[in-house]
Structure 1
Amino acid sequence: MLVEMVIDGVEVGEDGDSADRVAELLMRIAAGDDTAFGTLYDMMSSRVFGLILRVLVDRAQSEEVLQEVFLEIWQSAGSFAPNRGQGRSWVLTIAHRRAVDRVRSAQAAGERDVRAGMRELNTPAVAVEEQVELRIESRRVARALEALPEAQREALTLAYFGGYSQSEIAALSGTPLGTIKTRMRDGLSRLRTELGVAV
């Protein structure tokens, strides 16, 4: 008896013998039989790949999804119920669902990129005056840092430009934590004086 089904325009014919064979392989895979998995892959991979390629069009993505499909088959073969459907249909349904998921994921990523681009377009550019001010201020800070003793400069640079905590700086430099705290406190005080900032 020939049973036919259509998944996304792909006609799939199943005769009783091969349907029984796929179902038998799936049950063996559920029991952890990797030889059965290899046999199923050899039997079904080209048909599964054709279905995926028809949905995705892109060959590289289709190859990735093919791997995902067979990984899912290996992991979830135990959920196949022979009394509720044929093995080949079960495998092709997984393939179709994975391919459609990939299309939806790509569309969602594209929409996110468009939204991010629109936000950037709506963000006002930094005015030239602000850029000049920032550069001047950066140079002032760099000169003020250069005026500090090396130990204070190193501690402040690691903390504010490297993102390290005081205990991490102590560990990196092999210096007691109390010494690092003192260096940073004294360094900030001298930096304020150099920059002419009132406390």
Structure 2
Amino acid sequence: MGDPPRGGPEMADVMARVAGGDQEAFSTLYDSIAGPVYGLVLKVLRNPSQSEEVAQEVLVEVWRTASRFRPEQGSVTSWVMTMAHRRAVDRVRSEQAATDREQRNAHREHTPDYDTVSEEVTIRLESEQVRRCLRTLTELQRQAVTLAYYQGYTYREVAASLSTPLGTVKTRLRDGLIRLRDCMGVDA
């Protein structure tokens, strides 16, 4: 089926002129194809304002890419309508992706990453257990563990602080940590 515009030359000829930058030819093409493009896009999108926007995008794309039209591959109408359908489907996919993203973000905002009350209770219980177990150490072990693990001293700094040989500090720390592990019921 040939697709002549209302009372004018063949559409392929019009498209060739559009490809050459002829604005009058584009006006003729626009008058002929804008209604069907909008109708097709509206069937896909079902939103009049978005359909107008997408139809305009398609017609601008027709103007910019008219030189790519190949009459041996089909009619102008089918080329433009294929472009319109693809653009409309892309918009649907884009809108769906945005909706999905918003729902995921909303879900994340309303779902805590973890149970904060449970976390705080666990930390307090563990802290109390550590304090209780620290009380089971000898004074020298407790001092060494406190300096090394709670105040961040190196073994050498612990030795200097306690005026004790480095080897003795290492032994106290090892023995103290073993006692803490056993007291807290941690498997080795």
Q: Give the TM interval when normalised to the shorter protein.
A: 0.5 to 0.7
Structure number having the greater strand percentage: 1
- Secondary structure in 2 aligned to 1:105? helix
CA RMSD of the aligned region, Å?
A: 2.4
Residue 62 of structure 2: aligned partner: 73
In the alignment, structure 1 segments of 5+ residues that lack a partner are 4-14, 128-199
Between the two proteins, the alignment pairs up a number of residues equal to: 115
Residue 112 of structure 1: aligned partner: 101
Does 1:25 find its partner at 2:6?
Answer: no
| Residue 51 of structure 2, aligned match among 41, 54, 62 | 62
Q: What is the TM-score when the length of structure 1 is the normalising length?
A: 0.53
Measure, in 2, the Cα distance between the counterparts of 1:22 and 1:88: 8
Residue 123 of structure 1: aligned partner: 112
Look up the equivalent residue of 2:82 and give its one-letter code: T
Measure, in 2, the Cα distance between the counterparts of 1:100 and 1:124: 36
Shift in Å, 1:87? 0.9
Aligned in 2, Cα 1:61/1:23: closer, same or farther, shift over 3 Å? same
Does 1:100 find its partner at 2:89?
Answer: yes
Shift in Å, 1:88? 0.9
Shift in Å, 1:85? 1.1
Shift in Å, 1:48? 0.9
Give me the identity figure in percent. 47
Measure, in 2, the Cα distance between the counterparts of 1:113 and 1:21: 48
Q: Is the Cα contact below 8 Å between 1:23 and 1:88 reproduced in 2?
A: no
Shift in Å, 1:16? 5.7
Q: Report matched runs for 1:20-59 at 5 Å.
A: 21-59=10-48
Measure, in 1, the Cα distance between the counterparts of 2:43 and 2:70: 27
Measure, in 1, the Cα distance between the counterparts of 2:3 and 2:87: 26
Residue 148 of structure 2: aligned partner: none
Aligned in 2, Cα 1:60/1:16: closer, same or farther, shift over 3 Å? closer
Shift in Å, 1:27? 1.1
Measure, in 2, the Cα distance between the counterparts of 1:44 and 1:16: 10
Measure, in 1, the Cα distance between the counterparts of 2:106 and 2:100: 10
Q: What is the TM-score when the length of structure 2 is the normalising length?
A: 0.56
Does 1:84 find its partner at 2:70?
Answer: no
Measure, in 1, the Cα distance between the counterparts of 2:40 and 2:11: 17
